[in-house]
Structure 1
Amino acid sequence: MNSVRWSTHVIEIRDDDVTKRYRKGDVRALLDREWRALTLLDAHAPGLAPTPIAVDRDAVPPTVVMSRVPGVPLRGSPVDAARTAALAETLDALYRAVPYDRLARVPVRPDHQAGLVARLRTWHGRGPGPAAGSVVRAALREGMAWLDRPGLATAPDVPGAPVFGPGDGNLANYLWDEGASRIRVVDFEDSGRSDRAFELAEITEHVSGWVDGGFDATAFLGCFDLTAEEHVRLRECRRLLALTWLFILSFEDPAHRVNPPGTAERQAGRLRELLG
């Protein structure tokens, strides 16, 4: 058995199943979102995600057991054309999976539009981390000036047709099964009702997609037949997520750096390009 520790949970991996123990944060909410996602997808899109096996809300810590799915994470290696097409196919199926009448009863995912806007205003009040240089600070000022304009901050939180969103754009959560030429999705702690443009922005702007230089966001987005309204919203959501990531990277402690040096400055350039 292999054991992997994350910030909020511990994962125990066996040959056929995976046990996830929730240790930090709002553990009941994390568990409930994960279990709801697994059961919904098992019912409406079997094979896209692990199969739910057992849940124990009263355990200390609370625990979910699910099947182990084959594949290797997309993060950390180039995402070629085959993987890009498979990722788009999986996400398209996932977004469409949950019937509308059932999806209407699913809460909006955490850190959706309204939640992020409120979080950014709080972070702006605190200011960036002490290690943030002049390039990062200037880009943050430009980003907050954009956020203060009428538009996204006052738009409906989930406009248009809702979709089921996995809620995490980390490419480590998308597993490439080369033998089956398909991708499966894991980690649904932040899943919930969302909209397609926001979820696509979540993936294209996640630092895991570009810090290693292996993910072609333009090719990926080209796999989706977006409406004119979704194209406009996608641009605004990408700006919102890029600004969020710039704040996150500005808070990174240089003594305990997760990303390569200069990542925050590169993110500042990405944000400015999107704002332009």
Structure 2
Amino acid sequence: MVTALGQIRGVPLGPFANLGRLDAAHDFVRRITTWSEQLHHGPDDALNRDMTGLIATWHDRGDVAVLAEPAPLVFSHGDGNLDNWLWHDFITTIYVLDWEFAGHSDAAYDAAELIEHPSARAIHDDLWLALLPELGINDHHGRRRFAAARRTIALRWLAVRWKRRHDEPSRFEQQRHRTRELLVASDG
């Protein structure tokens, strides 16, 4: 999968040079801001205060500024859902489906979006983090951007889970725990 991802990123941007992937960093930042406003207009309860506190911690980390910094662009599949990666055992080939989110991105954001997608929870973080150099995260700047992207993406997934918290409480709590862990971790 990592090899295929490297090949995808090596595709010349061509017409995608002016077309960013859907759910890019600025999209998630905007959605988190909207969610924050919704929380302020919601009931004054412990859950809303906790969500507001997590958003405040994220703001204090400076992730918005980090993700606004320029980074080299790569072609991106644009959808981290592992269900879009199909392995064919007989011919030992991997197929990548659902290209509707494709566009340009950067390696750090792209890697973070893959790792923080809920479908990626099936793979232990230690394995993902060991693959960072192969995913194009090789230096301090890349790791800093990757950490900022992970926190932003995790927070966005928390907002998605928050909307369904009554229907899927365990998924919400799992995402809440994960987001909190990422927000308090160092960028190391």
Aligned equivalents of 2:105 and 2:39: distance in 1?
29
Contact residue 77 and residue 103 of structure 2 kept, 8 A: yes
Aligned equivalents of 2:10 and 2:72: distance in 1?
10
Contact residue 112 and residue 157 of structure 1 kept, 8 A: no
Instruction: Note the C-alpha offset of 1:156.
Output: 5.3
Corresponding residue pairs, total: 177
Determine whether 1:144 maps to 2:58: no
Q: Where does residue 167 of structure 1 map in the other structure? A: 78
Instruction: Note the C-alpha offset of 1:238.
Output: 0.4
Aligned equivalents of 2:92 and 2:102: distance in 1?
25
Aligned equivalents of 1:231 and 1:149: distance in 2?
18
Does the C-alpha gap of structure 1 residues 185 and 92 become closer, same or farther in structure 2, counting only changes over 3 Å?
same
AA of the residue aligned to 1:209: A
Contact residue 103 and residue 193 of structure 1 kept, 8 A: no
Aligned equivalents of 2:111 and 2:80: distance in 1?
8
Q: Where does residue 232 of structure 1 map in the other structure? A: 144
Q: Where does residue 265 of structure 1 map in the other structure? A: 173
1:116 alignment partner, one of 13, 17, 28: 28
Instruction: Note the C-alpha offset of 1:154.
Output: 2.5
2:5 alignment partner, one of 91, 96, 99: 91
Instruction: Note the C-alpha offset of 1:115.
Output: 1.6
Contact residue 87 and residue 95 of structure 2 kept, 8 A: yes
Aligned equivalents of 1:234 and 1:103: distance in 2?
26
Contact residue 245 and residue 267 of structure 1 kept, 8 A: yes
Give the ranges of 4+ consecutive aligned residues of structure 1 lying more than 3 Å apart after TM superposition. 136-139, 155-158
Contact residue 158 and residue 194 of structure 1 kept, 8 A: no
Instruction: Note the C-alpha offset of 1:200.
Output: 0.9
Does the C-alpha gap of structure 1 residues 148 and 198 become closer, same or farther in structure 2, counting only changes over 3 Å?
same
Instruction: Note the C-alpha offset of 1:164.
Output: 0.8
Aligned equivalents of 1:231 and 1:112: distance in 2?
18
Determine whether 1:201 maps to 2:116: no
AA of the residue aligned to 2:79: D
Could you tell me which runs of 5 or more consecutive residues in structure 2 were left unpaired when the two chains were aligned.
none
Q: Where does residue 5 of structure 1 map in the other structure? A: none
Q: State the superposition RMSD in angstroms.
A: 2.4
Structure 1, residues 71-118: CA drift from partner, whole Å, max 9, x if none? xxxxxxxxxxxxxxxx1111111112225xx26634111221112111
Instruction: Note the C-alpha offset of 1:153.
Output: 1.5
Does the C-alpha gap of structure 1 residues 220 and 179 become closer, same or farther in structure 2, counting only changes over 3 Å?
farther
What fraction of aligned residue pairs are identical, expressed as a percent?
28
Determine whether 1:243 maps to 2:171: no
Aligned equivalents of 1:92 and 1:105: distance in 2?
18
Does the C-alpha gap of structure 1 residues 183 and 147 become closer, same or farther in structure 2, counting only changes over 3 Å?
same
Could you tell me which runs of 5 or more consecutive residues in structure 1 were left unpaired when the two chains were aligned.
1-86
Does the C-alpha gap of structure 1 residues 112 and 265 become closer, same or farther in structure 2, counting only changes over 3 Å?
same
Does the C-alpha gap of structure 1 residues 103 and 268 become closer, same or farther in structure 2, counting only changes over 3 Å?
same
TM-score, length of structure 2 as denominator length: 0.82
Instruction: Note the C-alpha offset of 1:242.
Output: 0.4
Written as runs of structure 1 = structure 2, the 5 A alignment for 1:20-169 is 87-98=1-12, 102=14, 105-127=17-39, 134=46, 137=48, 139-149=50-60, 151-155=62-66, 157=68, 159-169=70-80
AA of the residue aligned to 1:247: A
Instruction: Note the C-alpha offset of 1:142.
Output: 3.2
Which protein, 1 or 2, shows the higher relative CO under an 8 Å CA cutoff with sep ≥ 6? 2
Q: Which has the higher strand share?
A: 1
Q: Where does residue 192 of structure 1 map in the other structure? A: 103
